[in-house]
Amino acid sequence: MARHLITSALPYINGIKHLGNMVGSMLPADVYSRYLRQRGHDVLYICATDEHGTPAELAAKEQGLPVDEFCAQAHDAQKAVYDGFALAFDYFGRSSSPQNVEITQHFARKLNENGFVEERAIRQVYSPTDGRFLPDRYVEGTCPHCGYDKARGDQCENCTRVLDPTDLINPRSAISGSTDLEVRETKHLFLLQSKLQHEVEEWVARHEADWPQLASSIARKWLNEGLHDRAITRDLDWGVPVPADTWPDLAAEGKVFYVWFDAPIEYIGATKEWSDLDPENRDWKSWWYDVDDTVRYTEFMAKDNVPFHTVMFPATELGVREPWKKVDYVKAFNWLTYYGGKFSTSQKRGVFTDQALEILPADYWRYFLIANAPESDDASFTWEHFTATVNKDLADTLGNFVNRVLSFSKKRFGEEVPAGGEPGPAEVALGEEIARLLAEYEEQMEALQFRKAAAALRALWSAGNSYLEEKAPWLEIKTNKDGAALTLRTAMNLIHLYAVVSEPFIPATAATMRSVFTLPDDTAPWVTEPEAKSLTSVPPGTPFTVPPVLFAKLTDEDLETYKERFGGETTA
């Protein structure tokens, strides 16, 4: 089977992320990874905390901690949340790792050897009040492109344009708030992207037809505007150091690499971290170096990260003149908004992932977010929509089906799957419908169309309810006990099928449903078409239990409580 390398955008270290961040990268990557593993593929899902740059220093300063100590604590806190969401990373690393330092410095040296790095004197913002140069996010001000008055010195959060601190209108220090700023001369390393423009264009041209329109259009927009040479070093205390053997003067000044230079390299660094934990059985280079088409590499990210991964990092990889694996497919997402406004880590707007897990188990969130993933356009989170989806899809369509089938069968036939009856036209029609919907589900998952995949999964659940309503075993048992046994046995086979195919979306619930049946040989990772048509995986006589309620219905009182705590449109 194919080998699949999967990465999702690295979450910044500065605080727990919101639901928009989760659905725009890590969660869909996890769903896809789980699906591929079930289908028998060799999968490596890599992610890490992005620990360098000004966000880390500013957050550490705010908490009064040394930056390395802050990052270590924040990494563990973020990892705990992702564990709570059942994100099945093969490895969740840290961009501050020695492995990333080593590989980042290697990339920089190779780029320099090949003539794609140049030392330049530039004029940079300096704050006499703070006694230091102010790179990137240490400067805030008004975006010259859209007028957003809280733009940062590296990128405008509102229009996503990449900026330099000197581009900002009415700039101020993010440390002290001082507007007493000067522009002084300093030296930095520049990546000569302009010299790589043609190569990047050719590379994008070979891939963009296969990418979602969102990803290809952003990449094309950047290329059409022309690639500019960009500074890849900063005046910071925390980061990958400029190697002294190549740039002794800059190293002596304490220059470090720009976070957007080393962060994408951390995908490789984190894989080496994973490999170094078990070097006898893991080979990081077999995933990244000189692998040609033997590895399919898929990246997941929100649209503001797309330029860096479709243009800037490919330019870096091309410039080193070594056969590093480049991305094959970029799954880009729009934004999930909160009542039409942005989720924002910095502005603490919307539901954050740790808070979400305090309220409800992960499967509630996993299903809702993927079923409403912002693929073709921005999507809006509202508590009304969330409550309606949980109640209709999870509590009623799936949870109630499981509970009433098992409870009724236990009551009338005991604690084993009932025998009796032979499949008739209703069962044949159901099998055909289930096989058709399963094929639709597989097709959408293969295409990374998550909303459509969720719709197919929901339709699979609905098919069971339709069958149950048609056969009405609670009436059937009065006149045809064998017929009722057949109906319930068929429905139990549906429960087992749902447990298998729902695992990528709702893994904890899927495990609960699968454990209902005592099937010692039940190791099949997926349901085949013949099994779907015949619905005979769970034979008569199989012991079963009735699980607790899978999904609790959310009440109007719950809805109002959530809106009061997190904000939202107020009721009249």
In a domain, 111, yes or no: no
Helix (H), strand (E) at residue 140: strand 139-142
| Alpha carbon separation from 128 to 147, 235, 312, 406, 562 (Å, rounded) | 27, 15, 33, 72, 46
Domain check: are 97 and 135 in the same one? no
Angstrom distance (rounded) from CA 136 to CA 131: 16
Residues 145 and 60 in one domain: no
For position 31, which CATH number holds? 3.40.50.620
**422 three-class SS:** coil
* CA 273/CA 286 separation, integer angstroms: 14
Look up residue 153 and give its DSSP letter: S
Q: Is residue 562 part of a domain?
A: no
Tokens of 251: 């190293």
Computed on alpha carbons and rounded to an integer, the radius of gyration of the chain in Å comes to: 27
Kindly state whether residue 539 falls inside one of the protein's structural domains: no
Half-sphere exposure of 390 (CA within 13 A, CB side): 23
> Are 366 and 460 found together in one domain?
no
401 and 519 housed in the same domain: yes
Q: Does 146 show up as a binding residue in the annotation?
A: yes
Whether 544 maps to a domain, the answer reads no
375 lies in the same domain as 387: no
Q: How many domains does the chain have?
A: 3
* Of 359, 380, 401, the domain-final residue: 380
Are residues 491 and 402 both part of a single domain? yes
Task: Say if 569 falls within a structural domain.
Answer: no
pTM over the 0.85 mark? yes
Domain limit, last residue, from 380, 407, 433: 380
Bridge partners (DSSP) listed for residue 378: none
Note down the domain range covering 204: 116-252
211 falls within a domain = yes
Q: Is 143 annotated as a binding residue?
A: yes
- CA within 13 Å, CB half, 380: 9
* 186: β partners: 122
Local structure of residue 245 (DSSP, 8 states)? T
CATH code of the domain in which 460 resides: 1.10.730.10
Task: Print pLDDT tens along the chain (572 aa).
Answer: 679 999 999 999 988 999 999 999 999 999 999 999 999 999 999 999 999 988 888 889 889 999 999 999 999 999 999 999 999 999 999 999 999 999 999 999 999 999 999 999 988 889 999 888 887 788 999 999 999 999 998 889 888 888 888 899 999 998 889 999 998 999 999 999 999 999 999 999 999 999 999 999 999 999 999 999 999 999 888 999 999 999 999 999 999 999 999 999 999 999 999 999 999 999 999 999 999 889 999 999 999 999 999 999 999 999 999 999 999 999 999 999 999 887 765 566 689 999 999 999 999 999 999 999 999 999 999 999 999 999 999 999 999 999 999 999 999 999 999 999 999 999 999 999 999 999 999 999 999 999 999 999 999 999 999 999 999 999 999 999 999 999 999 999 999 999 999 999 999 999 999 999 999 989 889 999 999 999 999 999 999 999 999 999 999 999 999 988 887 663 33
Return d(Cα 242, Cα 231) in angstroms, integer.
13
Q: At what angle do helices 481-501 and 425-446 cross, to 10 degrees?
A: 0
Is 147 part of any domain? Answer: yes
- Do 409 and 453 belong to one domain? yes
DSSP states along 256-322: EE-HHHHHHHHHHHHHHHHHHTSTTT--THHHHBS-TTSEEEEEEEEGGGHHIIIIIHHHHHHHTTS
Residues 6 or more apart whose CB falls under 8 angstroms from that of 5 comprise 44, 46, 287, 288, 295, 296, 297, 298, 325
Same domain? For 237 and 361 the reply is no
Residue 546 belongs to a domain: no
CATH of the domain at 143: 2.170.220.10
159 labeled part of a ligand binding site: yes
Both 151 and 78 in one domain: the answer is: no
Distance CA 21, CA 302 (A): 8
Rounded to 10 deg, the angle between the 401-413 and 450-471 helix axes is 30
Same domain, 280 and 323: yes
Same domain? 242 vs 145: yes
Which of 191, 223, 252 corresponds to the end of one domain? 252
CB atoms inside a 10 Å sphere around CB 300: 28
Whether 418 and 521 map to the same domain: the answer is: yes
φ/ψ of residue 244, rounded to 5: -70, -25
